[in-house]
């Protein structure tokens, strides 16, 4: 069991993950870019670090004195990530879990798997930097759209903006599933893999948002009926098989 874990980016997902790991007996180092959040981390028994990877002179060595590093930040700067990697290469970290997104896949109008070619984007380039580095083992975890608790998809709808591709399909995942999957990857030592993680059900965008707006007290949503309705359906079969995993929220409609 890897008892010491560093989480780069204790945001909406990272903080909840850090709390869960701490409650399970792990020693967790957590980073933030906000001075005001350091106290919050400390109060939750997470050793706090102020780290901004856009500042190359920041000393990360104490933070990186873990066996496992979970990267849960949104930076798309190749320069900043290369600087981060150079620090990791000099550290004790030998296993990395990089939180990515299914946005790396193009709209294929079909099912996409880990074998599907990704679009050429900053995020896919960053994934490659980690996957190809021989200094550590990296698992790439591509999440669908995150939801759960205070993060309600209905709140993403703007009254003056039409939702594109209403007849396309949704790829989402609940935060509880995200955390459980991450913990299972660590427990089962699943490294040097690329894994998709989305709930089993893929409702059409129109159906999804019409239901979601009601949950937040909204009555209308605009749809772009002239959009091409291009889509992708992200398969998580590899992850489910490798981890023997059943989604807690396989169907988003079971979540209120």
CA atoms of 45 and 42, how far apart (whole Å): 5
Residue 148 burial by Cβ neighbours in a 10 Å radius (0-12, 13-18, 19+): buried
CA atoms of 30 and 123, how far apart (whole Å): 22
pLDDT in tens, 112-133: 999 999 999 999 999 999 999 9
pLDDT number for residue 121: 97
User: Cα dist. 222→156, 162, 207 in Å?
Assistant: 12, 4, 12
pLDDT in tens, 21-32: 999 999 999 999
pLDDT in tens, 4-17: 999 999 999 999 99
Mean pLDDT of 188-209: 96
pLDDT in tens, 67-89: 999 999 999 999 999 999 999 99
pLDDT in tens, 39-66: 999 999 999 999 999 998 889 999 999 9
Q: What are phi and psi of 11, to 5 degrees?
A: -95, -145
Instruction: Please state which CATH number belongs to domain 4-148+173-200+233-249.
Output: 3.40.50.720
> In the structure encoding, which two tokens stand for residue 48, read together?
């706090």
The residues facing 241 across adjacent strands are none
Mean pLDDT of 158-167: 92
Q: Cβ distance 144 to 172 under 8 Å?
A: yes
CA atoms of 247 and 250, how far apart (whole Å): 5
pLDDT at 2 over 60: no
């Amino acid at each position: 069991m890897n008892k010491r874990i560093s989480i780069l980016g204790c945001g909406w997902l990272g903080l909840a993950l850090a709390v869960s790991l701490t409650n399970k007996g792990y020693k967790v180092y957590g980073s933030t870019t906000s001075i005001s959040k350091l106290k919050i981390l400390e109060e939750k028994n997470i050793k706090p670090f102020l780290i901004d990877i856009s500042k190359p002179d920041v000393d990360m060595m104490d933070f990186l004195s873990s066996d496992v590093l979970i990267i849960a930040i949104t930076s798309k700067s190749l320069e900043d990530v290369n600087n981060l990697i150079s620090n990791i290469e000099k550290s004790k970290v030998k296993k990395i879990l990089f939180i990515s997104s299914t946005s790396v896949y193009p709209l294929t109008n079909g099912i996409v798997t880990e074998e599907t070619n990704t679009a050429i984007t900053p995020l896919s380039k960053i994934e490659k930097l980690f996957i190809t580095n021989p200094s550590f083992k990296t698992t790439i975890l591509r999440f669908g759209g995150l939801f759960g608790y205070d993060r309600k998809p209905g709140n993403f709808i703007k009254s003056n903006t039409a939702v594109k591709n209403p007849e396309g399909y949704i790829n989402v995942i609940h935060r509880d599933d995200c955390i459980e999957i991450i913990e299972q990857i660590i427990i089962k030592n699943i490294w040097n893999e690329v894994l998709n993680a989305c709930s089993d059900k893929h409702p059409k965008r129109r159906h999804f948002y019409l239901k979601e707006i009601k949950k937040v007290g909204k009555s209308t949503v605009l749809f772009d009926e002239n959009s091409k309705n291009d889509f992708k359906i992200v398969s998580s079969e590899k992850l489910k098989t490798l981890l023997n995993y059943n989604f807690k929220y396989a169907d988003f409609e079971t979540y209120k």
